Structure 1
Amino acid sequence: MKKFLQQTALAAGLMAVGFGVHAQTITLKVHHFLGPQSIQHTTMMGEWCKNIAKDSNNRLQCQIFPAMQLGGTPVQLFDQTRDGVVDVAWTLQAYTAKLQKLEVFELPFMMTNAEATSRAAWDYAQKFAADDMKDVKMLAVHVHGPGNIYTKSKAVTTMADLKGLKVRAPTRQVNKMIAMMGATPVAMPVPQVTEALSKGVIDGAVIPYEVAPGLKVQELTNFTAETDRSYNALYTTVFVVPMNKAKYESLPADLKAVIDKNSGREFSAFLGKTQAGQDVPSKQAFVDAKNQKISVIPKTELENWKKATDSLDDAWVKEMTAKGMDGKAMLDGATALIKQYTK
């Protein structure tokens, strides 16, 4: 009897230990380069963290670190995730050279809307860029809403108005587009835009409405040029949400399933739709600003802009093909996927 009781106690103890390990809370470190008031912090990654907590009965938690609080620079975010410095990051494709295949979505006039194009970007990434993402567990690939042109000294209503202006652009392809339309592109991360505008380093910038008020663009410029929203967007930017692969693989099967449920095409679409959705309230800051004049570039003028920059598509295909890839299949695949998801 005594032996039986000892065995029962031992079994109960082992079960308790097993349950304790199973029920242990795992906190993921999430890192990004924008501020704590940004939509990326509060809603995009914030909602993801709430969802994985809910779906895991709070066994998965997040601690989100904004504004590079864990150190490093924005261009290091992908590597920080790959190397396990952080568990999850939200960052730009443009900061991650090895993800250049995703750049196709940043070509001029590719995007229809952010939700559809984000779904397309996720599917495209699985087909054409899976090998480039193999060192991480990719959770999402998405884009932002249509970019606008903000200028200090004169309104932009035609392509000729851009001539001679120094304009901040976010990515390699957008820099090329700006140059082809007559402006001088100035590459810089988005947090530097405020100081660059205030010191006259640049005459204007191209960014979506969503991020502009946080940079005080409505105060530092006087003119906003939107493109006709029934036409494909002037440009967009690709973002990625990588997770440390070893961290993901260390999770028990049921928690891996929680991560899987909250990643992929629909998470990508949510991020794109949410970020683009912030364009509406953010635009109000420009409507309310007494110094701002907002104009819309009509389709007829945008056709001229498209013709002037169409060769960028061919140049990108040629560049990818020279690196041993099927550049045409990649461009055609991205275009077809955007069309498939656009309603």
Structure 2
Amino acid sequence: MTFLKTLSIAALTTALAAPSIAQEVTLRFQHFVSPKSANPTYFMQPWADKIEKDSGGRIKVELYPFMQLGGKAPSQYDLIRDGAVDGGWVIPGYQPGRFPEAEAMELPFMVTKSGEEASVAAWKFTQKYLQDDFSDVHLIAAHMHGPGLVHKKGDPIEKVEDFKGLKLRGPSRPATLLLKEMGAISVGMPVPAFPEALSKGVVDGGVITWEMSPSLKLDELTDSHTDVAGEKSLYNLYFIWAMNKESYAKLPDDLKAVIDANSGEMASAWAGRAHDQGDVTGKAAMEDAGNTIAQISVEETARIQALGEKVTEDWITEMTKRGLDARALVEDARRFVAEGKS
């Protein structure tokens, strides 16, 4: 009788504990850069830590850099959609033409040089225009980085004519369109391929942020870093932080609420702010290396802006032919950026 009573108590204890055990989950998120770069340091890891804390330890988010769980950076969206990973960081522009509406946020001189401000605008734009585009993943954040600038071997850029014939890496279709308009030979490639392309002379340089410079060894592989004048960024890149829909759906409601509370405009601004933080240290590292830090004059920047406006108008024409209300996309993107300016 004592044995049966003990067995019954043990069974009851196990039954009561089972739901709690079943609700503990590990989510595997993947990205394609160094864990020491700005977004993983100032957003991804703190976000993962906050998810674990807010869930009372019931959700653990594991971060895998350099695509350690498999696949290449351009395939990240599909890896998340198909459940190869639970979530991760995506640059939609790595698949040119697939998410054309998102390109509106990446057009030349569209956003300010504040990653945080640009990211708030990106989230608002996403809410209005991109819900259908990303309907097969669970969207957590949509954000942008800080100012994109030109990093190259040799002397800095001083005028538009200096771009002529340069082989420059571009991360997205709008960026490569602008480089071509300025006379450069644009070479589209994801960020992991950039250092090797530089070291082998495949490219003379490229456009990317300050914050990525140290992890890509641009202090060693390039000599100069050139930004444009004014408050607007030469170019920018649109990102999403997303989950597999099934991974999200199978969470109990209280754990879904934890993800939800760390999603949206708040998370988007946080991700953009991470790039702003990284830009400060990245620029300092290039200065400490003795590289040339330069800014194109106001007059030459105005010439580049005029070329950028041509790229934008050509984009509007192209996308209108594809059936999009492209001018509305551009006008709303500009409106959201203006609303977010501090």
TM over 0.5: yes
SS at match of 1:271: helix
1:314 and 2:313 aligned: yes
SS at match of 1:115: helix
**Who is 1:42 aligned against?**
41
Q: What letter is aligned with 2:165?
A: G
**Who is 1:160 aligned against?**
161
Measured after TM superposition, the shift of residue 176 of structure 1 is 0.6
SS at match of 1:308: helix
Structure 2: state its 5+ residue gaps: none
Measured after TM superposition, the shift of residue 207 of structure 1 is 0.7
For the residues of structure 2 that align with 1:244 and 1:167, how far apart are their CA atoms? 34
Q: What letter is aligned with 2:306?
A: K
Measured after TM superposition, the shift of residue 231 of structure 1 is 2.5
Name the Cα RMSD after superposition.
2.0
**Who is 2:325 aligned against?**
326
CA contact (8 A) 1:231 1:299 kept: no
CA contact (8 A) 1:118 1:272 kept: yes
Output aligned runs, 1:1-343, within 5 Å: 13=11, 16-23=14-21, 24-96=23-95, 97-112=97-112, 113-228=114-229, 230-290=230-290, 292-343=291-342
SS at match of 2:124: helix
For the residues of structure 2 that align with 1:213 and 1:99, how far apart are their CA atoms? 30
CA contact (8 A) 2:213 2:286 kept: no
Structure 1: state its 5+ residue gaps: none
For the residues of structure 1 that align with 2:221 and 2:209, how far apart are their CA atoms? 15
Measured after TM superposition, the shift of residue 255 of structure 1 is 0.6
TM-score between the two structures when normalised by the length of structure 2: 0.93
SS at match of 1:213: coil
SS at match of 1:311: helix
SS at match of 1:266: helix
Q: What letter is aligned with 2:143?
A: H
For the residues of structure 2 that align with 1:18 and 1:139, how far apart are their CA atoms? 33
For the residues of structure 1 that align with 2:330 and 2:129, how far apart are their CA atoms? 10
Q: What letter is aligned with 1:156?
A: I
CA contact (8 A) 2:169 2:194 kept: yes
For each residue in 1:222-247, what CA deviation from the matched residue of structure 2 results, as whole angstroms up to 9, or x when unmatched? 1211222x421101111111100111
Measured after TM superposition, the shift of residue 13 of structure 1 is 4.9
Number of equivalences:
336
For the residues of structure 1 that align with 2:154 and 2:297, how far apart are their CA atoms? 21
Q: What letter is aligned with 1:153?
A: G
- Of 216-225 and 20-29, more deviation after overlay is shown by 20-29
For the residues of structure 2 that align with 1:231 and 1:43, how far apart are their CA atoms? 24
SS at match of 2:211: helix
For each residue in 1:162-209, what CA deviation from the matched residue of structure 2 results, as whole angstroms up to 9, or x when unmatched? 111111111111001001011111111111221111111111111111
SS at match of 2:47: helix
Measured after TM superposition, the shift of residue 90 of structure 1 is 0.6
For the residues of structure 1 that align with 2:187 and 2:272, how far apart are their CA atoms? 26
For each residue in 1:232-291, what CA deviation from the matched residue of structure 2 results, as whole angstroms up to 9, or x when unmatched? 11011111111001111111111111010001111001001111220111111211123x
Measured after TM superposition, the shift of residue 299 of structure 1 is 2.3
CA contact (8 A) 1:106 1:174 kept: yes
CA contact (8 A) 2:30 2:88 kept: yes
Q: What letter is aligned with 1:192?
A: A
CA contact (8 A) 2:319 2:326 kept: yes
4+ runs of 1 displaced by more than 4 Å?
Answer: 12-16
SS at match of 1:209: coil
Q: What letter is aligned with 2:324?
A: M
CA contact (8 A) 1:93 1:100 kept: no
